[in-house]
Amino acid sequence: MNKHNPKFDFRSLKARVNIGSVLFAYGLDAGLQRKKHLLHGPCPLHRGDNPTAFRVDLARGLWRCFTACGGGDTVELVRRIENCSYAQAARKMLLLAQGPTPSEYQAATFSIDNSKDRVFSPFTKRVPLNPRIPFLQENKKISVEIARRFDAGVTDRSPFLRGTVAVRLHDLYGKPLGYCGRRLEPEQIARWGKWRFPKNYPKKETLFNAHRAISSRKNGIVVVECPWAAMRFTQAGVANAVALLGTTVSKAQVAWLSKAPTVLLMLDGDPAGQKAAPNIAMALRGSARVVFHHLSNGMEPEDLSDRQLSRITQMHLFSF
């Protein structure tokens, strides 16, 4: 009988999903140094800065944070990351086992164009961000805790992100790709647009928050335009919201979304969002049931309260 839970074969799960794959999938390996079968560095769980606080033995499948988080095996790592039960950890590990290996996914995603000026280079290091900013807490009603969870905030350490509200980007399986920044100055927005993305960023191959939402995809998926809306849904207790980072949908995104039984489209209530919604629904036709929640002219999902966002999701998806 398994010491964790007799209903799940955790030994088999750990054989299929090793501890290195878990760190990779959640984007927690970027700041760790490797020496043979050992990893070490600042703890990515509590985001400390002690370079020797966190250690991982890849051969034995064990980890330990000597500062605050404790340690254990791969199952305990998933439980610590997700703050979940053993049964929930088993389900999340099963989902990870179904995904491609890191090398397979990177080869499939980033060999998009062989021309030198079109190659995207992921930026995997973490940039320290200050999540306490009026744009997030006052304009978008995003709590400091949620902003910190999504690596959103401001910084003076990166010339690329200076003058923007930044948020971290990941691929569909949680590998860090870098950051995008939302410009705040009206003059810059008028000249270059609201958002600044890394050069050649593969928007069509990603969905913001997909690596977190995948464990709840079986209950349906909420599709919004921008990261702030996905963060607000998370704050409202809705774990299955993803953002297109625009108003179009690609074949890769359709393939990911089509695995959900129902897709709730909740795009912005501006002309671009109103025009895009039926086009996206057409692209998903035959793959998933599509429902709409239309917002009033000029409204965005983050203009609604957490309670309203929760009720809308329950009404259209029934459970999440």
pLDDT of residue 7: 59
Separation of alpha carbons 71 and 48, rounded Å: 15
What is the separation of C-alpha 79 from the centre of its chain, rounded to a whole number of angstroms?
18
Domain boundaries, the chain: 10-98, 123-201, 210-317
Separation of alpha carbons 3 and 281, rounded Å: 46
The two structure tokens encoding residue 188: 């810059």
Q: What is the pTM of this model?
A: 0.66
CATH fold of 210-317 reads: Dna Topoisomerase Vi A Subunit; Chain: A, domain 2 (3.40.1360)
Least confident of 8-22, 178-192, 284-298: 8-22
pLDDT tens readout for residues 18-30: 888 888 777 787 6
Separation of alpha carbons 97 and 74, rounded Å: 13
What is the CATH architecture of 10-98?
Answer: Alpha-Beta Complex (3.90)
pLDDT of residue 6: 46
pLDDT tens readout for residues 276-285: 999 999 998 8
The reply to whether 210-317 shares the fold of 10-98 is no
**R_g of the chain, CA atoms, integer Å:** 20
